[in-house]
Structure 1
Amino acid sequence: MVLHGRPTIISALLLGNALVAQISDVCANPSTIELKLGNCTILGPAQADVNSWGIRVGVLNSSGLCIVPSTVVNTTFLTSSEICGDGQLVDANDITMTVAQCRSRRGGYITRSSVPNVPTNTLDQQNQGWVGFKNVIQFAANATLQLLTETVTMVEGLITDGQQSTTSHLGLASSSTLLQTLKGTGQIGALSWGLNSGSQSVEFPRDGSLVLGGYDSASLAGSFYEYDIALNKLNNRICPLQILITGLTLNINGEVVETIVDNSDKLAACIEPYDNLFRLPKSDLERFKDFYTKYTNSTAATLNPSDYKGTLLNLEPGIVYPKSSGAFNASLRFTINNELTVDIPHYEFERPLRGLDENGTVVLVERYTELQIYGSPAPEDAPVLGKAFLSQLYLLVDYDKMKFSLAPQNLEAGTPLPKSSGDCPSSGTDTNASSDLNLRTGLIVVGAVLGALLLLLAVLFVVHKARGLPQWLVVAGSWRRNQKQVKVPVTDEDAGQLPKPNGASQPGNPVSPGAVASGGGTQPHDPVLHSLSQPATPRNPAPMGLPVSMVGRRTPIPDVS
């Protein structure tokens, strides 16, 4: 800065403060990556469109995918084209799919020959939750994924056969390759992730979001309740997000009609965002079927997927009844660890039957009602709470602290406000050498700036002393009185970069949403990925109808009744 043609010490100090403030701001606001979660459509110029649900990601030199967050695996697993080839079109219920149904069920797929192939090496040991379901890892890739405006290159497993999964898995277990890679490159500041699962209900659908490296403060409607990440299995199932259900009631019209779990008969359960429905042990599954019969006065038997196979393909078959049996209108009330209580409303618990027609398009069949409880007993008899449960709760998983937290979800949240869960420098068990490198680099930069300022101040002192001390003091004082406060241009627009969050709140404390929203970014070059650059849209509860699609269109689901 120059004052009347002469530099001043005050000008230098202002410049120094601005530089240090910018460096401190980077340190105080570790990076996050926010991704949209919801209806996911992949346009197929040469074949039917993919109509799925999840996060839209791009794959370098291949087609895009719809991918779902998963704690089943540490490695991200991508569906490959073999999964819809000959011999793979018969699902676990012995229902034959069309190729279009298979593509939508799988959320699209990549072509194995279009990505760099690598040995599977230790993928089996790293993904015991995957091989525990009798899956075989035959192939692996080192593909580059595009996560909105960010890219990441890492080893992925390829799903080439089997019926134990639907879409690709975004691996977010406790040793997640994705999180470790992103933190190692400085793209996120913490080994953590936050999930607003949105809602797949027919009455009040809404989009959700996934924040890597933190959480979305706009999605919170209350304080976090914190739990330890489990290292032990649940009934021989790997399950890092275990909770203890100390109360569970079935409510109809706001009144408790059945007590399913109480404090004398606690039930351990696994939270798994990859699953849609509740999964129950055989005895509890039969109890719910009895409850439906009792409170609807129905004598109709439950339907198997083969009973409606000519109408649609059900991706995750729940308990299905003819609508003529009557509406259940039931809700569930969970109490977790005798402290957190959450209600799952009736519109999340039951809905018209939904699936894929022969063209892979989502359809509703109004003449059938489906309870959001998986129709077969849970594997290993381990209860699972899927996205129907998470529709009312926000989930934060922090592997730096080996804790996860649940908070009441703000169902009217608008634009996401991502916040990092990390400190600066990052705390916790950080074994990644690049984190130390980033810290050393930051200290070197700060030291260099301060050293340059000291040198500049010394030069200015000598110059001004030679010219006479009173003169520059008078000039500096006059400038401070007569000039307006100078603002250093460090806004997002001036800096030309994405907005950054303004801090983090610790789990267990109320969180006040910040004032900085994420957005912007560059337009992806791959035309297949055109929807990735669309700005985030508010997630207000939608009116009666369908979830808003990934490209911002609301398309009515055909009723094939």
Structure 2
Amino acid sequence: MASLLLCLSATVLFVQSTVAFNCSQKPIYVDIHKRAVHDSPVFQYGSFIGLGTPAQNQSLWPSLQQNHTSFASPTYCKDNSTLKNCDRSTGGFYNHQDSTTFIENDNFKTLDQVETDFKSFFGQETLRLYTHFFETDGASQTLVENSTIEVAEQGSITPARVGVGSSSTLLRDLAAQNIIAGKTYSLYIGQGFDRAGGVVNGSNVFGGYDSGRFTGTPNQYPMNIANVNPMSVRVKDIIITDSNNANVSLFDNTVFTDMKSRPDEFEAQITTEQFPFSFPYQITQNIIAKLGAVQDNTWGDNSLKLKNAFNGTLSIVLDDGFTVTLPPEVLMNASNITPIQDRDEKSTAPFYLGTAFLGQVYLMADYESDNFFLAPAVQKNNMVMPVTFCPKSTPVAYERPNQSAWQRQGLIGAVVGGVLGGLGAIAALYCLWITWMRKKDERKLKRELKKNRESKMEQMDLEDAPTFDPPPKNAAKAIFWRRNKP
């Protein structure tokens, strides 16, 4: 009896938890690529979002640790900001005085950790989330009215952020206004920004995920809310594979004899705040020794640089076996710079998996259950397939049709091309034959018409006048006369 009551109670709780979410709501897809933004002289890579009335369009970088959607004020780059290339790096500028829908909120307390030199103010504003599936198509918008925003006035960080942290005000407002099913979010950061040096664009999906952007069954992980970046994983191995397919584990103390024993797995936070990886000191030293790396700060992030080119890969193995592999073009760019950060031996900073990691995986976060999912990303996806991410459910990848060996190798295309080409040739020959037959019939008809005209002319020729015998003179009664024979 007790077990029956327990089962019924669990069933009721499950039904209540799922009924609370309106999973019939469609997700909001917001693409990430370079675009023109408000008061900026250059195109900037980021999420296509505007705000205010009239709209001031911005290009915002997704932040997994920041909880507010923030913008740069027109004075941000003028008040002693130390941000490099400030006027070209803020994702645009927002002037709250030009908007008729902004209401300042002096009493709002920030939900983020604040830099010592950072100064900002908060308010309520109309956010405009633009859905723009392809660059050649027009965009539609979803309005989020009275959403909390932060306006940066002074500091050294890049202020243009879509805050999608664990206490995201944007996700909160979207769910509260019943625009999305719940506080769920998915991200593919892409590789179209300067540091990555690629061309593949990214995307955000609020309240859903792009089912065509990943493959396989996603791996689920619990969030560590105590961390600044709550989406954290445990790394149990890092493997370097050279061009001859020889593998070397950076955890192998028999190869790297400076280590007395094999190191323990470590926790790493997934972040969008930096591009390179930050590994433990000894692992970093093993990379330096194995690849012949040196310190470099070309990009201002202390990424290591290789003395010599390396045509190999680096694989990060998580504690559940999920493996993410950096291809050669990501492990080392055209300038021999790696996405691996140098680290001081005494550093107590967290270990990070930066956007170099997110360029290879698709991330799906469920803030209603404090779980997130990782899956291999589809780098070049020609179709966008947003699906509702109902809280407390597991995302499902789009299943591509099974392909035969001919299809996989492209032979079916050659066959279809040959068939279509042959049919085209037959059609062309048929048209030529029809044209020739028509010409032939026209010539035959002309000959027949000419012959008929000649025949009619012959029929119309006048005959010689006939001659008759005169009536008999002596006959008493003439009965008839006959025509002379010719």
The question of a shared fold, defined as TM-score above 0.5 by the shorter chain, is answered with yes
Distance in 2 between the 1:113 and 1:379 partners? 44
Structure-2 separation of matches of 1:27 and 1:142 = 25
Does structure 1 residue 205 correspond to structure 2 residue 199? yes
- Where relative contact order (Cα < 8 A, 6+ residues apart) is larger, the structure is 1
Shift of the alpha carbon at 1:27? 6.4
User: 1:375: Cα distance to partner?
Assistant: 5.1
Gaps of 5+ in 1: 1-25, 92-96, 295-300, 306-313, 353-367, 429-505, 516-561
Aligned-partner residue type, residue 122 of structure 2: A
Opposite residue 382 of structure 1, the aligned amino acid is: P
The question of 1:512 aligning with 2:480 is answered: no
TM-score (norm 1): 0.57
Cα separation, 1, equivalents of 2:197 and 2:170: 34
Q: Residue 255 of structure 1 corresponds to which residue in structure 2?
A: 246
Structure 2 gaps, min length 5: 1-20, 131-140, 254-261, 402-486
**Contact 2:67-2:163 at 8 Å conserved across structures:** yes
Q: What is the match of residue 65 of structure 2?
A: 72
Q: Which of the pair has more CA radius of gyration?
A: 2
Note the alpha carbon deviations across 1:355-405, whole angstroms, 9 max, x for none.
Answer: xxxxxxxxxxxxx43212345669842011122101121110001222101
Q: Cα gap change, 1:43/1:82 in structure 2, threshold over 3 Å: closer, same or farther? A: closer
Superposed displacement of residue 206, structure 1: 0.7
Instruction: Classify the secondary structure of the residue corresponding to 1:64.
Output: strand
The equivalent of 1:372 in structure 2 is 339
SS at 1:351's partner residue?
A: coil
Structure 2 equivalent of residue 168 of structure 1:
160
Within 1, Cα distance between the matches of 2:355 and 2:61? 11
CA deviation after TM superposition for structure 1 residue 279, in Å: 2.9
Does structure 1 conserve the Cα–Cα contact (< 8 Å) formed by 2:38 and 2:56?
A: no
- Alpha-carbon distance between aligned partners in 2 of 1:399 and 1:251, rounded to the nearest angstrom: 36
Alignment of 1:532-543 (within 5 A): none
Mapping 1:132-171, distance limit 5 Å = 133-134=115-116, 136-148=118-130, 149-153=141-145, 154-163=147-156, 165-171=157-163
Contact 1:36-1:209 at 8 Å conserved across structures:
yes
Classify the secondary structure of the residue corresponding to 2:89.
helix
- Compared CA separation, residues 375 and 217, structure 1 to 2 (3 A): same
Asked if 1:114 is matched to 2:98, the reply is: yes
Judged with a 3 Å threshold, the aligned counterparts in structure 2 of structure 1 residues 162 and 288 are, in CA distance, closer, same or farther, namely: farther
Indicate yes or no: 2:368 matched with 1:410. Answer: no
> In structure 2, what residue type is equivalent to 1:159?
A
Where does residue 328 of structure 1 map in the other structure? 310
In structure 2, how many angstroms separate the alpha carbons of the residues matched to 1:373 and 1:417? 33
Query: What code does the residue aligned with 2:381 have?
Result: A
Q: Specify which structure has the higher proportion of helix.
A: 1
Deviates more, 1:246-255 or 1:108-117: 108-117
Q: Deviations over 1:434-493 (max 9, x none)?
A: xxxxxxxxxxxxxxxxxxxxxxxxxxxxxxxxxxxxxxxxxxxxxxxxxxxxxxxxxxxx
Shift of residue 150, structure 1, vs aligned partner:
0.6
Contact 1:117–1:139 (CA under 8 A) maintained in structure 2 = no
Deviation of the 1:243 alpha carbon = 0.4
- Between stretches 201-210 and 78-87, larger displacement belongs to 201-210
Q: CA separation in 1, counterparts of 2:57 and 2:246? A: 47
Alpha-carbon shift at residue 275 of structure 1 (Å) = 2.8
Are 1:217 and 1:514, in contact at CA under 8 Å, matched by a contact in 2? no
Counterpart position of 1:302: 295
CA distance in 2, matches of 1:85, 1:281: 38
2:32 paired with 1:37: yes
Task: Report the CA distance between 1:102 and its aligned residue.
Answer: 1.6
Distance apart, 1:280 and its partner CA = 3.7
| Matched residue SS, 1:72 | coil
CA distance in 2, matches of 1:329, 1:291: 13
Aligned equivalents of 2:67, 2:119: Cα separation in 1: 13
Q: Structure 2 matches for 1:253-402, cutoff 5 A? A: 253=243, 254-260=245-251, 265-293=264-292, 302-305=295-298, 314=299, 316-319=300-303, 321=305, 325-352=307-334, 368-374=335-341, 380-402=348-370
Q: Which residue of 1 aligns with 2:212?
A: 218
Aligned counterparts of 1:404 and 1:52: Cα–Cα separation in 2: 28
CA distance in 1, matches of 2:48, 2:338: 28
Instruction: Check conservation: 2:180, 2:206, Cα contact below 8 A.
Output: yes
Shift in alpha-carbon separation, 1:286–1:196, aligned structure 2, 3 A: same
Q: Give the structure-2-normalised TM-score.
A: 0.66
Question: Please, what is the CA RMSD of the aligned residues?
Answer: 3.1
1:175, 1:41 → 2: CA distance? 30
Deviation at 1:286, TM superposition (A): 4.6
Identity %: 21
Output one character per residue of 1:73-131: Cα deviation in whole Å (capped at 9) or x when no partner: 2221212222210422x44xxxxx5xxx322222222124335352343433x22xx32
Asked if the contact 1:278–1:374 (Cα under 8 Å) also holds between the matched residues in 2, the reply is yes
Matched, 1:58 2:50: yes
Count of equivalent residues: 355
Change in Cα spacing, 1:191 to 1:43, as seen in structure 2 (3 Å) is closer
Compared with structure 1, are the counterparts of its residues 218 and 250 closer, same or farther at alpha carbon in structure 2 (3 Å cutoff)? same
Work out the CA distance in 2 between the residues paired with 1:373 and 1:268: 16
SS in 1 for 2:336: strand
User: For 1:267 and 1:143, how far apart are their aligned partners in 2?
Assistant: 41
Tell me which residue corresponds to 1:485.
none
Residue 155 of structure 1 and its aligned partner are, at CA, apart by: 1.6
Q: Deviations over 1:315-338 (max 9, x none)?
A: x534264x8x32133421111123
Q: How much has 1:268 moved relative to structure 2?
A: 0.2
Letter in 2 for 1:221: T
Distance 1:147 1:196 in 2: 17
SS at match of 2:175: helix
